[in-house]
Amino acid sequence: MAAILVLNAGSSSLKFQTFAPAPEGPRRLIRGQIDGIGLRPRFRAEGGGAAEAREMTATEVPDLPAAMHLLWRWLNTRGGEELLAVGHRVVHGGPDHAAPVIIEDTVLARLEALTDLAPLHQPGNLAPIRLIRAEAPDLPQVACFDTAFHRGHPDVADAYALPEELRAAGVRRYGFHGLSYAYVAAELARIAPDVAGGRVIVAHLGNGASMCALKAGRSVESTMGFTALDGLVMGTRPGQIDPGVVLWLIGERGMSVAEVSDLLYRRAGLLGLSGLSSDMRDLTASDDPRAAFAIACFVHRAAMQAGALAAALGGVDALVFTAGIGENAPAIRAAIAERLGWLGARLDPAANAAGRTEIGAAGAAPRLFVLPTDEELMIAREVMALLGLGEGPGPVR
């Protein structure tokens, strides 16, 4: 069966899915992932006649390239699918890419040059591309960008107050999690078209977290900027921080650029605040006061940023929660909604506890939703549209 392979590679995990192109859009065949890479690797796959789960050792799968080799061998030995193309989530597209693109040498070189702007993600995103180019050089590969969905912002939203020469060099706000926002925008248009055409805030709350302001389904503002460090408190990233703190760390503490980068990308956020864990599940289950403090900071910053996005939109018709925390942590949703009572947000506690699609109180505005995201399906749609594989829906822009 002809199929599209979709890869979503992170620093310690490799998610994969295969889709069959169909007139109504991509049809999912297999989904799975290799997580715990380098620590306690686990392989899982299901669908399409596959049902497999096994533990491995860190020696067997020490890094992402090793995980990709393992997946590539598994795909080739199981048979059943003929790959038409591979779609990749690439976090940073820089100023050159406002839409999906077929990967060739020049594109790959430009994406590699952006590694310093997304050091947690870009190396992992590009590693599978290199392996597949070596193993199957004629197989089309498509880069789908987390930054592309935000490229229609007005200039005033993306400009930093810096000299023009720096703006011309690409120092500007980009925004991230665009594949997630594109998928959620399409889903909201399907289930609630009356509000999807208005002013919507989408909260992508996970280990990486951001919010996006949508007007008529298009991004007009986002909490992330030049890199994926800005905005909300995240698992190991601080979110909004005074640039003077970085200057102080370098000037007064004598920290190198590499040490500051390690602090901001790997030792801050929920982990830094609590000293316990970067995982919201661990923190909500803990009775340690430091865990409660980290959660309070997360909620405070989320509510504050939602207020800023409401100002950018001139009001809010709906608030949508998505991603790991947004979809699975009713207590966090409730705390954020409570802080947004001044906007008119009112939760239905029973609906929220049950994780229903709509969790707002009847008749309240803005309406409140929980929508699971699906970045891999969005990538498959974009690959189909770019390569003309079928008549399915294309990317949401």
Tens digits of per-residue pLDDT, 124-152? 889 899 999 998 999 999 999 999 999 98
The whole-model pTM stands at 0.90
Q: How confident is the model at residue 390 (pLDDT cuts 50, 70, 90)?
A: low
DSSP annotation string for 231-294: SS--SS---S--HHHHHHHHHTS---HHHHHHHHHHSSHHHHHHSS-S-HHHHHH---HHHHHH
Cα–Cα distance between 30 and 52 in angstroms, integer? 11
Over residues 194-201, the mean pLDDT reads 96
170: left (phi over 0), alpha (psi -120 to 50) or beta: left
Query: Residue 115 above 80 pLDDT?
Result: yes
Please enumerate in sequence order all residues whose Cβ is within 8 A of that of 249, keeping only pairs 6 or more positions apart, or say none: 255, 260, 263
Q: How confident is the model at residue 397 (pLDDT cuts 50, 70, 90)?
A: very low
Angle between helices 330-339 and 289-313 (to 10 degrees): 50
Copy the structure tokens of residue 81.
Answer: 């699918």
Q: Which residues are catalytic?
A: 146
Over residues 3-21, the mean pLDDT reads 89
Query: Residue 394 above 60 pLDDT?
Result: no
Write out the E strands in the chain.
Answer: 2-9, 14-20, 27-35, 42-47, 50-55, 82-90, 101-102, 141-145, 199-205, 209-215, 218-222, 318-322, 367-370
Please enumerate in sequence order all residues whose Cβ is within 8 A of that of 304, keeping only pairs 6 or more positions apart, or say none: none
Query: Residue 395 above 70 pLDDT?
Result: no
Cα–Cα distance between 16 and 36 in angstroms, integer? 15
Over residues 84-107, the mean pLDDT reads 92
CB 270 within 8 A of CB 235: yes
Cα–Cα distance between 126 and 115 in angstroms, integer? 10
pLDDT 10s digits, 249-300: 999 999 999 999 999 999 999 999 999 999 999 999 999 999 999 999 999 9
CB 200 within 8 A of CB 316: yes
pLDDT 10s digits, 352-362: 999 999 999 99
